[in-house]
Each structure stands twice: as C-alpha cells, then as structure tokens.
C-alpha cells in the first residue's frame, strides 16, 4: 500500500559518519518556536551557515540534529529555534532560508512556525475496527496532534448511536460511509472528499488503495500495520505471528506505496510475548501497540522529523 515523502521534510564535516544531536533549555514564553529541516549535498560549512542564518535575525537554536551517512555525500538536519516574530517576520524568514537553500543546492528546505502557520488538514480512513480511529480522535481532542480533521471516511456503516458517530457529530466532523466492493472501491468519490488535505491517515483501513488513487492524490498517506514489517505482510499478521511462535510482536507505521505493506517505515514498536499468550492476548497487545505507533508517526510527521533516505528508507530525528 505511492508515496511522496513529506513535503514538510527537509551542521559540516566532523567525521566520516556523523549523527549529531544537541539540546538547550525551553524557549522563553515571549518568543515563538520554529522548525527548519534541510536536506542537501554534503559540504563544508553548512552548520555554520544554518546557525548564522538564525542568529543574524536574533534567533536562538534550542536543539539541532544532523545526520550525514557514511560515503553518501548527503546532509540532513533538523533545527528547533526561537525567534521574535517582530524582528524576524515570517515572510523574511522564508526568504532567508531560500537563500540558504540556493547556496547549498538543497534538495529540501522547509521551515514551519506552529503558532503562526495553519494546522495540517487531514482526512482519516477507517474500516470496522475502532481502536486506532478512537485513539486518534481523542488525541486530536486533547491537542496531541496539530491537525484539523476534515472528515472520516469508512467502508463500514456505523449507526447514529455509536461512540464514533456521537463524537464526530459533537465536533462537527463529517462521516462518510462508502460501501465498497471488489469491483468498485469508490476511489473517485474519496478523491473528491480528500481534496485540499495535506496528508491522509489510514486508521486500520482494510482496503488496498490503487496506484491511480495514490498518483491522483499526490500527497503522503500514513498507514498502520498490525505487525513488524517486512515480516507478516497482508492480512491477519497477528495470527501469522502467533502460529510462527514469535517472542516479540509489534506494529509498524509506514508511508503507503503501490507495493502492499512495503512503504518506507516511520515508526515501529514491539512487546514481548510468550507461550502463555493466546491469540486473543496477542491481538489485545497488538492493538495497543498500533495505537501508540500510529500516534507517534503522526506527531513525528507534523513536527518535521521524517525525511526521505535512499530509495525506501527514512531518517527520523
């Protein structure tokens, strides 16, 4: 289940293989928080220029992560910084980082100011199982996700008195039931419903999206798989794992591609099991992992922590 890596994805030679991270104190309440990601060919002086760009406008870096893979000649960074929006207007900030991008022939350079920029607009696709959908909705309600949910789409009918429908009605989030068949996946209607969204979340949506849908949509789609990919692909991975006698079970969040359950991995979580577990306890533990794993992936994506690496991998700061 074509991906485009987050458009929101985006400091020089210190050693052959650098994986640097440093942090400072929390920002003063009077300043505004910004995030910048940078992906470019490796060169001497990138860290210095990034720091200079921010400092020259009165900003202060609170945390920075850098990754330069060995023998790859490519540079990745993510910077958290604070600034005074009066001294460094948002438009000026874009211009400054654009100049930096041009200097280093950046593949990707993105800046985000959560307090000033619009929240990400998402649509959620789900099937019969509620656990991931309900956890996502309550997480959104509690402010754990900087997103606006435009709608929930499902191929499963839910009555008006169900918990999900009552929640959605209370928060004015549309629910669209699209009865699908093998001959008609209703993808044209789905494309209409998800127009103007920044990315999609599959909260246990048990339908395979076609390559045509993925290409037509064009933005990223995050899926949760109830198993440790690349093992136990397809349906019933918990049953597959149980029958294989594994000692660790897990969940995997990944980007959706045309190849089933083969997209770049964003997050994985595991839990130990034993001979004392039965299939029911396997499933219960798996569902808890799915909720946590999907939640972490969405937050990482929104915080610009996920960058493309090689053909089918990710850097997650």
Tell me the catalytic residues: 261
In angstroms, the Cα distances linking 297 to 6, 95, 148, 150, 253 are 12, 30, 16, 19, 6
Question: Within 13 Å of residue 234, how many CA atoms lie on the same side as its CB?
Answer: 2
- CB count within 10 Å of CB 201 equals 28
Taking alpha carbons only, the member of 304, 238, 248 closest to residue 274 is 248
| Strand order from edge to edge, sheet including 108-112 | 18-23, 60-68, 74-83, 32-41, 108-112
Residue tagged 């309600």 (tokens): 141
- CB count within 10 Å of CB 121 equals 16
Give the integer Cα–Cα distance in Å for 200 and 256: 10
Burial class of residue 249 in the structure, from the number of CB atoms within 10 Å of its CB (0-12 exposed, 13-18 middle, 19+ buried): buried
Strands (E), the chain: 18-23, 32-41, 60-68, 74-83, 108-112, 120-126, 147-154, 175-177, 199-202, 220-225, 248-255, 265-272, 306-309, 313-316
């Amino acid at each position: 289940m074509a991906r485009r890596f987050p458009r929101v994805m985006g400091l020089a030679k210190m050693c052959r293989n650098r994986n640097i991270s440093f942090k400072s104190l929390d920002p003063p309440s009077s300043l505004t928080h910004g995030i910048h990601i940078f992906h470019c060919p490796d060169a001497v002086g990138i860290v210095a220029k990034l720091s200079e760009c921010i400092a020259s406008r009165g900003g202060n870096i609170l945390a920075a992560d850098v990754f330069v893979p060995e023998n790859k000649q490519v540079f990745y960074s993510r910077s958290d910084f604070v600034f005074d929006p009066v001294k460094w207007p948002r438009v000026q900030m874009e211009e400054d980082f654009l100049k930096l991008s041009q200097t280093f022939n950046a593949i990707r350079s993105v800046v985000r100011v959560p307090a000033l920029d619009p929240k990400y607009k998402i649509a959620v696709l789900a099937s019969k199982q509620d656990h991931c959908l309900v956890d996502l909705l309550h997480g959104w309600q509690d402010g754990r996700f900087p997103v606006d949910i435009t709608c929930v789409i499902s191929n499963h009918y839910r009555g008006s008195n169900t918990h999900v429908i009552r929640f959605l009605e209370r928060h004015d989030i549309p629910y669209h039931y699209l009865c699908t068949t093998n001959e008609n996946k209703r993808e044209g209607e789905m494309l209409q419903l998800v127009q103007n969204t920044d990315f999609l979340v599959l909260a246990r949506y048990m339908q395979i999206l076609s390559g045509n849908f993925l290409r037509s949509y064009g933005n990223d789609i995050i899926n949760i798989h109830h198993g440790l990919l690349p093992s136990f692909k397809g349906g019933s991975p918990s049953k597959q794992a149980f029958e294989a006698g594994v000692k660790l079970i897990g969940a995997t969040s990944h980007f959706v591609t045309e190849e089933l359950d083969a997209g770049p991995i964003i997050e994985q979580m595991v839990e130990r099991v034993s001979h004392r577990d039965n299939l029911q306890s396997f499933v219960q533990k798996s569902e808890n992992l799915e909720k946590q794993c999907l939640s972490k992936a969405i937050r990482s994506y929104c915080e610009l922590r996920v960058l493309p690496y090689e053909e089918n991998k990710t850097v997650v700061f």
